[in-house]
Structure 1
Amino acid sequence: MSTPFFVSAPGKVIIFGEHSAVYGKPAIAAALSLRAYLLVTPSQDPDTINLSFPDINLTHSWNKNDIPWDSIVKHINLVDNLPQTSEELVPEIVDQLGSVLADLNSSLHYTACLCFLYLYTHLCNQELAGMSFCIRSTLPIGAGLGSSASTAVCLASALAILGNRVTSASFLQTDKILKKENNDLDFIDSWSLMGEKCFHGNPSGIDNAVATHGGAVMFQRMNNPAQPSVRTSMRNFPAIKLLLTNTKVPRSTADLVGGVGKLNVEYPKTSNSILEAMEHLSNTAYQIMVRPFFGAEERKKLRELVNINHGLLVALGVSHPSLEKVKIITDTSKLGSTKLTGAGGGGCAITLVDEDVSEADIAQGIAELEKEGYECFETSLGGKGVGSLSFEDVPQELRSTVFSPEKFCAYSDRIEIEKVLSTNALEGWRYW
Structure 2
Amino acid sequence: MTQHTAPFVVSSPGKVIIFGEHAAVYNRPAIAAAVSLRTYLHISESSDPEEIMLEFPDIGFTHKWKLSDLPWDTAEKYHMDKPQPTDELVPEIVSELANALVDISNSVHYAAAYSFLYLYVCMLKRSSQGYRFTVRSTLPIGCGLGSSASISVCLAAALSLLGNHVQRASLKATDANKDNEDSMFIDSWAFMGEKCIQGNPSGVDNAVATHGGAVMFQRTLGSAPSVRTTMRSFPPLRLLLTNTKVPRSSAKMVGNVGRLNQEYPKTTTSILDAIDSLTREGYNIMIKPFFNDSAKSRLSELFEINHGLLVALGVSHPALERVRILTDELKIGKTKLTGAGGGGCAITLLNDDAEESVIQELIKKYQSLGFETYETTLGGKGVGYIEVSDSFPYTAQDFVEFEDRNAIDKAMNAGSLEWRFW
TM-score category, normalised to shorter length: over 0.9
Q: What residue is the counterpart of 1:183 in the other structure?
A: 181
Task: Please state whether the residue corresponding to 2:16 is helix, strand or coil.
Answer: strand
User: Which of these residues, 71, 88, 94, is aligned with residue 74 of structure 2?
Assistant: 71
Q: CA deviation digits over 1:49-94, x for unaligned, max 9?
A: 11101111111112212223123212x163xx22221232111001
**For residues 334-356 of structure 1, what are the alpha-carbon distances to aligned partners after superposition, in whole Å with 9 as ceiling and x for unaligned?**
12010000111111000000000
Deviation at 1:425, TM superposition (A): 5.1
C-alpha separation between the residues in 2 aligned to 1:29 and 1:100?
35
Please identify runs of 4+ aligned residues in structure 1 that moved more than 4 A.
none
Residues 384, 421 of structure 2: 8 Å contact kept: yes
Which residue number corresponds to residue 214 of structure 1? 212
Query: Match for residue 193 of structure 2?
Result: 195
Q: State the percentage of identical aligned residues.
A: 56
Identify the residue that residue 272 of structure 1 maps to in structure 2. Answer: 269
Q: Displacement, 1:166? A: 1.0
One-letter amino acid matched to 2:147: S
Find the counterpart in structure 2 of residue 232 from structure 1. 229
Q: Following the alignment from structure 1 to structure 2, what is the Cα–Cα distance between the partners of residues 7 and 427?
A: 15
After the TM superposition, which residues 117-132 of structure 1 pair with which residues of structure 2 at under 5 Å, given as runs? Answer: 117-132=117-132
d(CA) in 2 for partners of 1:52, 1:251: 27
Amino acid at match of 1:16: F
Change (3 A) 1:94 1:226: closer
- Counterpart of 1:426, as a letter, is S
- Work out whether residues 419 and 425 of structure 1, in 8 Å CA contact, stay in contact via their aligned partners in 2: no
SS in 2 for 1:82: coil
Are 1:30 and 2:21 matched, yes or no?
no
**Secondary structure class of the residue paired with 2:87:** coil
> Hey, what does 2:158 align to over in structure 1?
158
Over aligned residue pairs, what C-alpha RMSD do you find? 1.4
Name the structure 1 match of 2:407: 416
8 A contact 2:76–2:125 mirrored in 1: no
2:141 corresponds to: 141
Cα distance change, pair 355–138 in 1 and its aligned pair in 2 (3 A): same
2:113 partner amino acid: C
- Residue in structure 1 matched with residue 333 of structure 2 by the alignment: 336
1:22-421 pair list within 5 angstroms = 22-74=25-77, 76=78, 78=80, 81-177=81-177, 179=178, 181-222=179-220, 224-391=221-388, 394=389, 396=390, 398-400=391-393, 403-421=394-412
Q: Helix, strand or coil for the counterpart of 2:158? A: helix
Query: Is 1:11 the equivalent of 2:14?
Result: yes
- Listed one character per residue, the Cα deviations across residues 21-71 of structure 1 (whole Å, up to 9, x for unaligned) are 011100000001000000001122222211101111111112212223123
3-state SS, counterpart of residue 72 of structure 1: helix
**Offset of residue 125 of structure 1:** 1.0
Whole-angstrom distance in 2 between the partners of 1:84 and 1:399: 33
Distance 1:105-1:250 versus aligned 2 partners, 3 A rule = closer
Mapped partners of 1:201, 1:228: distance in 2: 15
CA distance in 1, matches of 2:270, 2:386: 48
Structure 1 CA distance, aligned partners of 2:383 and 2:69? 31
1:129 alignment partner, SS class: coil
Q: Which runs of 5+ in 2 are unaligned?
A: none
Number of aligned pairs?
419
Q: In the TM superposition, what whole-angstrom CA distance separates every residue of 1:277-311 from its partner, at most 9, and x where no partner exists?
A: 11111111111111112233222221111011011
Distance 2:225 2:331 in 1: 42
Q: Judge which range, 102-111 or 411-420, deviates more.
A: 102-111
Q: Which moved more, 1:96-105 or 1:135-144?
A: 96-105
Q: Which amino acid aligns with 1:370?
A: Q
Q: Residue type of the partner of 1:93?
A: I
**Secondary structure in 1 aligned to 2:376?**
strand
Counterpart residue type for residue 148 of structure 1: S
Residue type at the aligned position of 1:110: Y
* Higher deviation after alignment, 259-268 or 319-328: 259-268
Matched residue type, 1:92: E
**TM-score scaled to structure 2, two decimals?**
0.96
Q: Does 1:429 align with 2:419?
A: yes
CA distance in 1, matches of 2:415, 2:116: 28
What residue identity is the alignment partner of 2:233?
N
Counterpart CA distance in 2 for 1:226 and 1:203 is: 13
CA distance in 2, matches of 1:421, 1:229: 34
Contact in 2 for aligned 1:249/1:322 (Cα 8 Å): yes
CA contact (8 A) 1:335 1:365 kept: no
Unpaired segments ≥5 residues, structure 1: none
Provide the secondary structure at the position in 2 that maps to 1:307. helix
Q: TM-score, normalised by structure 1?
A: 0.94
